[in-house]
Structure 1
Amino acid sequence: MSNLTGSHSNEPHTANIAGRLNWLRAGVLGANDGIVSVAATVVGVAGVTNTPTPILVAGTAALVGGAVSMALGEYVSVSSQRDSQRALVEMERRELAEDPGAELAELTGLYLAKGLSDATAQQVALELTEHDALAAHLSAELNIDEADEASPWQAAYASAAAFTIGAILPLIAILLPPTAWRIPVTFAAVLLALALTGTLSAAIGGSSKTTSAVRLVIGGALALAATYGIGSLLGASGVI
């Protein structure tokens, strides 16, 4: 029996597959931000003092502040995106109610521009309009699916959770080992984690895994070296 939908059993023909990949990629990048920012903070403090308490306090503050900042940023960003999408939907709904003939001609023109013949474009536009005029125009004109609306709260929670998961690693790496091993263990753990997140991010996006991993490892190493160096200089100078 032929497959009338044109899909294959081994292909992910879900309507929101791109959205899910974007969410996954955002989660990986959020975890990466947590790793780098908190690692840089605790390594910088460790350059000044070996006492665990200041390191724990600074790392925890960086974790909480970063998670809240990430959540707030995602909430505002997704809320703005959602509001813009709703405004476009309402504008299209109003135009369809006020002048359906002009909207049908516009839809026909869009399919003509895609390479369909005049007769086929008219037939496609007419059938889609009869089925769901609003959905047809949102898809063809704006590449919008009215049902595919992101949740600001979900985005905020996901971003904060990803950041927190990433931030826990450098806290554990710098607090558990003996004093002499704190910095080497933290550097190794953070750079390994960055290599893994870079590889995963590239796998999701379809780019070079090696390039992505090396880029993140180099950037993370520079951040750790810079903050540790600044902390050591401040500690040695007696300023702190």
Structure 2
Amino acid sequence: MSRHYHSEHHRNDRIGWLRASVLGANDGIISTACLMLGVAAANADRSELLVAGVAALVAGAMSMAAGEYVSVSSQSDTEQADLERERVELRDQPAAEQRELASIYTARGVAPELAMQVAQQLMAHDALSAHARDELGIHDTSAAQPVQAAIASALTFSAGAALPLVTALIAPPSMLIASLTATSLLFLIALGMLAAKAGGAPLLRAAVRVGFWGALAMGVTAGIGKLFGTVV
């Protein structure tokens, strides 16, 4: 008799890299486009605009990588400290830890006797993994990976920042600000929809959210650049 298993495909294994990648590309587009629009609004020429854009790309990529590495490393340190404490408790108080694990399953609706059996069997197989998953909420798919997050953030920021730079390089001088604004908004909306598609979220909501905040950021920056250019 053959057995057929129901296969399900979930997207939570993408959360780590998807978050870092989307955040990096989104920041790359917005921060570089905003800086270049502010400089352009202050009556800078194309060469000055490109210098500002390249500086924004390099500085932003390094900042994103360093910030993401430090942030995720802190999360990793916390997870490792919690796991070490759990190892000690499992070594010194295995019975109490088994009851604790069983109580977690009971709170989720499992009958007390069955919960104790499940806890006993899981701990016999891999006690630390069982407690890490069900007590601490640490899963393989969501565990902190500092180097991966830093590299993804730096690369995706650079990719995002390159888009306004290319626009500034090829756009006619008379259409520079309009071209930067329109293409950057288009890139942002496309990125938001791509991320929503990968994560299984509504496309329209993501597009509107990213487009609105991107337009607001660019509008404010261009306005300040225009004011600064007029005053100076």
**Match for 2:15: what amino acid?**
L
Q: Which stretch shows the higher mean deviation, 163-172 or 174-183?
A: 174-183
Kindly state the Cα deviation for residue 226 of structure 1 after the two structures are TM-superposed: 2.4
- The residue type paired with residue 39 of structure 1 is A
CA RMSD, Structure 1 to Structure 2 (Å) = 2.0
2:102 is equivalent to residue 108 of structure 1: yes
Q: State the match for 1:167 in structure 2.
A: 161
- 1:5-84 residue pairs with structure 2 within 5 A? 6-8=5-7, 11-12=8-9, 17-84=11-78
Q: Are positions 1:124 and 2:121 aligned together?
A: no
Q: Mapping of 1:175-190 within 5 angstroms?
A: 175-190=169-184
What is the CA-CA distance between 1:161 and the residue it aligns to?
0.7
3-state SS of 1:79 partner = helix
Using the TM superposition, give the Cα deviation of residue 145 of structure 1 relative to its aligned residue in structure 2, in angstroms: 3.6
Gapped runs of 5+ residues in structure 2? none
Letter in 2 for 1:36: I
Residue 2, structure 1, aligned to residue 3, structure 2: yes
**Cα distance in 2, alignment partners of residues 146 and 222 from structure 1:** 38
How far 1:146 moved relative to its partner? 6.6
After the TM superposition, which of the residue ranges 116-125 and 224-233 deviates more from structure 2?
Answer: 224-233
Matched positions, count: 231
- CA contact 2:16–2:142 (8 Å) conserved in 1: no
Change (3 A) 1:169 1:102: same
What is the identity, as a one-letter code, of the residue corresponding to 2:134? A
Contact 1:25 1:205 in 2 (8 A): no
- Judged with a 3 Å threshold, the aligned counterparts in structure 2 of structure 1 residues 147 and 22 are, in CA distance, closer, same or farther, namely closer
- 2:194 match: secondary structure: helix
How far apart are 1:211 and its partner, in Å? 2.4
Amino acid aligned to 1:31: A
Amino acid at match of 1:138: A
1:129-172 deviations in Å (ceiling 9; x for gaps): 21112112222211224796432122111101111100001111
| d(CA) in 2 for partners of 1:158, 1:174 | 25
After alignment, is 195-204 or 161-170 more displaced?
195-204
Q: TM-score, normalised by structure 2?
A: 0.91
Aligned equivalents of 1:192, 1:203: Cα separation in 2: 16
Q: Say whether 1:97 aligns with 2:98.
A: no
Residues 132, 58 of structure 1: alpha-carbon distance in 2 compared, 3 angstrom cutoff: same
Aligned equivalents of 2:140, 2:200: Cα separation in 1 = 28
Preserved CA contact (<8 Å) 1:63 1:164? yes
**Cα pair 1:21 1:204 within 8 Å, conserved:** no
Q: Which residue identity does 1:103 align to in structure 2? A: E
CA gap 1:103/1:179 in 2 versus in 1, 3 angstroms: same
Once the two structures are TM-superposed, the CA of residue 106 in structure 1 deviates from its matched residue by 1.6
Aligned pair partner of 2:130 in 136, 149, 153? 136
- TM-score, structure 1 as length reference: 0.88
- Consecutive unaligned residues in structure 1, runs of 5 or more: none
The alpha-carbon distance between structure 1 residues 218 and 111, as it changes in their structure 2 partners (threshold 3 A), is: closer
User: One-letter code of the match for 1:84?
Assistant: T
Taking the aligned partners of 2:127 and 2:17, their CA distance within structure 1 comes to 29
